[in-house]
Amino acid sequence: MAKRKSLDLIVLLMISVFVISVSAVTYYSLAMQPRVTVSAPLIKFDRAPDEPNGSTVNDAWCSLTAKSYPNVTLTYEQAVYINNTDSGGPHSFRLKHISITPDNGTSDVGNWTSIKFLVYNSSSYVFSLNYTVSGTNWILEPSNGETGYYPIPASTAWWIRLETRSPATAQEGTICDIQIDVDVQE
């Protein structure tokens, strides 16, 4: 009986040592105190002279409601401005594809020939993100869906020229939704 009690006591001691060692790890913590300040974006969207009717443009997002006509290239020369509001220096940005519908492989894709987002500075073309169609598939250019980063000078506005084109056989009323991020390096 004494051996049994000794064995029980040893087992209990081993369990308590195990629990204490596990507890020491479990209750370890770090402290963090973040401070988040609401600020205006340094690079922002601004309304432009050729903004499509029905579009919404805010500092940090915009929704462009463009049209596409069969067998015609429709151009919104200055659809939206991208404005570096910082007078202290340049900041870089890029265009990045997020999503497009209709999806590849569906017949509705064939209602477009191309949708292009061309970025211009005050004097010339700088870069673009283009969607062209091959059969029932969207082809992105650049192929990874991301442009490089381009520095926009201090207190300067660039613009996006939006070009749309549909084939002669395009079905009226078909809709294409595109989501693009404008990534900014501050």
- pLDDT tens-digit series, residues 5-64: 666 777 677 777 666 655 555 667 889 999 999 999 999 999 999 999 999 999 999 999
Q: Do 57 and 115 reside in the same domain of the chain?
A: yes
Is the CB of residue 129 less than 8 Å from the CB of residue 167? no
Output the six-digit token pair for 97: 């594809």
Q: Do 100 and 175 reside in the same domain of the chain?
A: yes
Residues 6+ apart with CB under 8 A from 2: none
pLDDT score, position 29: 81
Average of per-residue pLDDT across 163-167: 97
Classify strands 91-101 and 177-185 as parallel, antiparallel or unpaired. antiparallel
Query: Does residue 37 fall inside a structural domain?
Result: no
- Our count of domains for the chain comes to 2
Q: Do 23 and 94 reside in the same domain of the chain?
A: no
pLDDT score, position 21: 57
Q: Do 57 and 20 reside in the same domain of the chain?
A: no
Q: Do 64 and 98 reside in the same domain of the chain?
A: yes
Per cent of the chain over pLDDT 70 is 89
Q: What is the DSSP string of 86-120?
A: -TT--EEEEEEEEEEESPTTSGGGGG-SEEEEEEE
Q: Any bridge partners for residue 158, and if so which?
A: 82
Could you say which DSSP state residue 151 is in?
A: E
For 80-111, how does the pLDDT look when each residue is reduced to its tens digit (9 = 90+)? 999 999 999 999 999 999 999 999 999 999 99
- The whole-angstrom separation of Cα 155 and Cα 17 is 66
pLDDT score, position 119: 98
Q: Do 24 and 52 reside in the same domain of the chain?
A: no
pLDDT score, position 122: 87
CATH number at 53 reads 2.60.120
What is the phi/psi pair of residue 107, to 5°?
-65, -25
Q: Do 50 and 137 reside in the same domain of the chain?
A: yes
Is the CB of residue 158 less than 8 Å from the CB of residue 121? yes
Domain range for residue 20?
1-30
For the entire predicted model, the pTM comes to: 0.82
Query: Does residue 64 fall inside a structural domain?
Result: yes
Output the six-digit token pair for 11: 């087992």
Q: Do 122 and 163 reside in the same domain of the chain?
A: yes
Q: Do 95 and 14 reside in the same domain of the chain?
A: no
Q: Do 132 and 175 reside in the same domain of the chain?
A: yes
Query: Does residue 114 fall inside a structural domain?
Result: yes
pLDDT score, position 112: 98
